[in-house]
Each structure stands twice: as structure tokens, then as C-alpha cells.
Amino acid sequence: MFSGFEIWMFLAGLGIFLFGMHMMEESIRLLSGAAFRTFIRKSTGTNFKAIFSGLFSTAILQSSSAVSLMVLAFVGAGIMTLTQAIAVMMGTKIGTTATAWIVAVFGFKFNIDAFSLPLIGIGGLGIILLAKSPRYVNISKFLVAFGFLFMGLDYMKTSVDQLADIIDPADFAGYGVLVFALVGLVMTAIMQSSSATIAIVLTMLFSGVINFSSGAAMVIGANVGTTVTVLLGSIGGIASKKQAALSQLIFTVSTAIVTLIILPLLTWFVLDLLGFHDNLVLGLALFHSIFNLLGVILFFPFISKLAGFAENRIREEVKEFSKHIHKTDPSVYDAALEAFRKEIARQLRYSFVFISLILRPDKHGKQISYDELLRYHAEIFEYYTSLISHQMEKEESEKADKLLRASRNIMNASKNIHDVAVELATLSNEIDPFHQRVYQSIDGRLSKLISAGTKISQKITNKKSPEQMQEVEELHKMIEDEDKSFIRLCGESVSAKELKKVEVTYLLMLNRVITQSSRMLIFSIKALVEQADPVDE
């Protein structure tokens, strides 16, 4: 039955299309730096703005999965609320329909060779001849990617055209729309790209292999299939990431169910009322946009309730973060103060984990959110109030105060770095050598502080250690030296006219936050070491 179907031509076309999609996404991401990351983070003041930011970012980046995974990282880092995340991911569903429109409008109306070959040729030459300019190299890669997109589509169309001569669409008449929806879901889950699935569906529809209703059902299934990537991205994450993934799954599946129920009505609306009988490909692209827009309209009033439902179903484990203080009676001063000191050392290590996650959001392993840090600090403060409520000696009271100040410094440093998380992400994605050096300076000093500070806090004993005090002083000197080097680097760039005055002010302010936060963390380490009992003579 399929003897005339050139399977290798189809697979080659699919591979070229997917490669083009991947290259396009990567080149746009590098061209934009962290602009979309910043845009998504800052454009979520209202649910409407959040939906638009998801729509716009996905339409440009050509990947709803990439935007959704970005959102999961923001939620996990505690810099985006669950309600904001749901709204952004709802917007990605509308934004992802841009690919269907591009393929439907350009992929079947033009001579693809005349369209794709010049793009690949010009882009390929640009990659070689403009290799010294990262910006122009990425523009060239974008041109090549766009050309590959349509070259792959042409290969798939040619192979499916041959299949259309063999297969009678009536052969599929017995299969219900649920079967086609399931096929679309599985294809997307396997290829990790709804755009590729929709391109195949549009190609089959154009060649007459399937009818409009079957194609529509496959597009609905592809829409659900994109959630697989998000669900995988939430595995092993904290509760808020799982809540965001569950919310998107509920929204997407519910939209799919509603659309399948009213599919005959939507088909009539697109083909008969709007008159797309003569252009089924464009009609399917329109259908894709309509049913995603319909889902957003239906769920828009219930975004907060959806967030509440997800939070109730996946509860953040309510636990005491403390390991030492909740086991120690605050009235037993000696034991209580030592437990208090060890607890703050543990708080310090959790703060280091949190800062590491801001520097590298995709890092796996132990994770903690900003909200959890706040609750941990609250537990420590609550114990402090119990501790000082008893009649303590002046020396013991002063020791408790100094330890609490260390805890507050840890929390303040964490908050400062939490507040500049977007700026750090923006800087990390800049591609010019100067900004890369700037980010490496900040990342390097924080990484050294985290590594050395964690080791010191893990080795803190109940006796003062001269060796540890020496390590703390060396750490402090490193931070001060790095601060001076950073200021010198910015000064040299201004003198060489490589940097605008406004931009250098922004970088110096960012450096000030990092330096002050580092100092607060070092003062906390110093206090933890100093407040140990003196060594016996």
C-alpha cells in the first residue's frame, strides 16, 4: 500500500525542518540576549499583560516549550508568582500558532526553492565571512534556519504528494477524531515540537491525505503534547514548579476537551461562515488560533482559582526548616546558643544554594525558593524571641544579638541578589566580550564566596578556630580586590569609549549590590566563627 511513499525523503524533510526550528530558536535567543527573559519577567503586572508577554515571546522565539521552561525556572527561583506563570503559559498557546500561519501562508504558495535556497546561500556565506562578529553570525544562522524550515517542508510535501496518490481519504472515515487527536499528541511528545507536527498535518491536508476535521483533531492533540516538555521540566523541582506544570496541563487538556466537543461547530464557522473551503490550509491555521484564543477567554476569569486549585492539589510541604533549634529548650542557655549558632550556619548554606540557583537556574540538586528562605529566617527569629525572653547574662544576650544580626545579614544578602536576578540573567546572555568579562567577574567572585563559605560553615566547631578566621579574612580580601578590579575594568572601558556613561552607571550599581551582599555574607561567617566558645588554655 505504501510502496510509492518515499519514507527517507519524508524523514529527511522532517529532520531538516526540526533542525531549522532548533537553529532559529537558538539564533533568536542569542540575538536578543536576555531581552525576552527580562520582558517576560517584567511584563506580568496584570494577567492580561502576562498573557501578552507569553504570546509575544513565543511568537518571536518560535517555541512555547522554551518560554514555558523559562517560566518554570522563574517560579522555582521565587521571582514569579504561580498566577503570573499560568497567565504567561496561557499566552504561549496563542503565540505558538504563529508557526502555523508562517507555514500556511508561505509554505504552499511560493516556489520554495526560489525562497529557501537564497536564504541558505546568503546565510551560509555570512556564517563564514562574518565569523568575527557574533551578531552577524547569528543573523546569518537565522537566515539559514529560515531556509531549512521551508526546504524541509518542501521535502515532506513532495513525499506526501506521492502518498496522496495511493491513499484514499475515505479509508480513514471510520476513525474518530479522538484517534487523530491522540496521534497528534504522541507525535508532538516524541518530536518535542508542536510546530513540526502541525507542519506535517498542514502538508497532509494540502495533499488531500486527511480531511479538515481529522487535521483539526491532530492540531488539538499537538497542543496537548507540548505539555509533556513542561511536565518533564518540573520533575524533581519544588512544589511551585509542579503547580505551574499541573496548571498548564489542566488548562491545555480542558481547552482540548471543549474544542473537541464543539469541533463540528468550529469547523462550520471556519469553512462555511468564513469561507475557507477553498483554502483548507489557511483555514486550519485560523482554527488553531481560534481554539487557543477560546481557551484563554474561557479560563481568563479563573486564573487565580486555577492557581489555588493547583496549590491545594500539590501542597508545599509545611515543615520546620530548622534542624537544631526546634530540638533545644531555649531556657538551657549554653545549649540553646550553640544550637542557635549552628542553625544560622545552616541558614547560610541554604542561602548559598539559593544564590547558586539564581546564577544557574537550570541547576539540579538541592533547591530552595525565596519564600522558603523567608520562612526559615522567621523560624530563627521566633527562636531568638524565646531565647531572650529568659533572664540571660549580659554576655549571653550580646552573643544572641550578634548571631541574630548574622542571620539578618544572610537574609538581606539573599534578598539583594534575588532583586537583581533578572539583571544577572540579562548580563549572562550578552554575547559581546566586554559584558562577558563583566558577568564572569560577578559570577566568579560569588562562586568563590559560595564554595569557600560553604566549606567554612560546614567545619564550624564549638571552639574558636584561628585557621577559620584566617580563611574568612582571605575571603574578605578577595571580595574587596574583585570589587576594585571591577571598577578598574569599567573605568578602562569608559576611557576607551567602549561603554556609555549611562551603562557604566548601571553596571557599577549592580556591582555595588553584589559587593555589599558579599560583605554581609562574610560578616555573617565571621560572626559565626567568633561567637564560638574560646579555646581552653
307-338 pLDDT, tens digit per residue, is 889 888 887 655 557 777 877 778 777 778 88
> In 460-500, which residue ranges form alpha helices assigned H by DSSP?
466-495
C-alpha cell at 129: 565571512
Question: What are the distances in angstroms from CA 89 to CA 64, 96, 238, 251?
Answer: 8, 11, 18, 9
Higher pLDDT, 31 or 506: 506
Q: Is the pLDDT of residue 168 over 70?
A: no
Amino acid symbol at 300: F
Rg (CA), the chain: 29
Q: How many whole angstroms separate alpha carbon 138 and alpha carbon 158? A: 30
Q: What is the pLDDT of residue 463?
A: 59
pLDDT band at 220 (very low <50, low <70, confident <90, very high): very high
C-alpha cell at 196: 513540526
Amino acid symbol at 469: M
Which of 108-117, 171-180, 282-291 has the highest mean predicted lDDT (pLDDT)?
282-291
Coil vs helix vs strand at 403? helix
Structural domain spans, the chain: 7-313, 325-530
Residue 463, number of CB atoms within 10 A of its CB: 10
Q: Does domain 325-530 have CATH number 2.40.128?
A: no
Q: pLDDT by residue (tens digit) across 66-83?
A: 777 777 767 765 567 888
pLDDT band at 536 (very low <50, low <70, confident <90, very high): very low
Q: How many whole angstroms separate alpha carbon 468 and alpha carbon 413? A: 21
Give Cβ neighbours of residue 11 (< 8 Å, ≥ 6 apart): none
Which residue, among 61, 68, 65, has the nearest Cα to 145 in the 3D structure?
A: 61
Grid coordinates 537564497 are at which residue?
A: 118
Q: How many whole angstroms separate alpha carbon 417 and alpha carbon 412? A: 9
Question: What are the distances in angstroms from CA 142 to CA 21, 26, 29, 146, 531?
Answer: 10, 9, 10, 6, 59
Q: What is the sign of the dihedral through the CA atoms of 513, 516, 519 and 523? A: negative
Higher pLDDT, 27 or 446: 446
Mean pLDDT, to the nearest integer, of 442-446? 91
Q: Are 369 and 240 in contact (CB under 8 A)?
A: yes
Give CA 90 to chain center in angstroms.
Answer: 15
Give Cβ neighbours of residue 476 (< 8 Å, ≥ 6 apart): 519, 522, 526
Q: Tell me 110's DSSP state.
A: S
C-alpha cell at 358: 539564581
Q: Are 266 and 108 in contact (CB under 8 A)?
A: no
Higher pLDDT, 244 or 113: 244
Q: How many whole angstroms separate alpha carbon 81 and alpha carbon 117? A: 45
Q: What is the pLDDT of residue 1?
A: 43
pLDDT band at 2 (very low <50, low <70, confident <90, very high): very low
Coil vs helix vs strand at 463? strand
Coil vs helix vs strand at 533? strand
Question: What are the distances in angstroms from CA 532 to CA 306, 334, 340?
Answer: 49, 11, 11
Q: pLDDT by residue (tens digit) across 395-413?
A: 888 888 999 999 999 999 9
Q: How many whole angstroms separate alpha carbon 520 and alpha carbon 355? A: 14
Q: What is the pLDDT of residue 40?
A: 64
Residue 114, number of CB atoms within 10 A of its CB: 8
Coil vs helix vs strand at 56? helix
Residue 15, number of CB atoms within 10 A of its CB: 14
> In 32-111, which residue ranges form alpha helices assigned H by DSSP?
35-42, 47-61, 64-76, 82-95, 97-106
pLDDT band at 417 (very low <50, low <70, confident <90, very high): very high
Q: Is the pLDDT of residue 186 over 80?
A: yes
Q: Is the pLDDT of residue 364 over 80?
A: no
- For the chain, give the number of residues: 537
C-alpha cell at 215: 487535521
Residue 477: HSE in the Cβ half-sphere, 13 Å Cα cutoff: 6
Grid coordinates 553584589 are at which residue?
A: 514
Q: Is the pLDDT of residue 65 over 80?
A: no
DSSP 275-311: --TT-HHHHHHHHHHHHHHHHHHHHGGGHHHHHHHHH
C-alpha cell at 120: 541558505
Q: Are 67 and 58 in contact (CB under 8 A)?
A: yes
Higher pLDDT, 249 or 104: 249
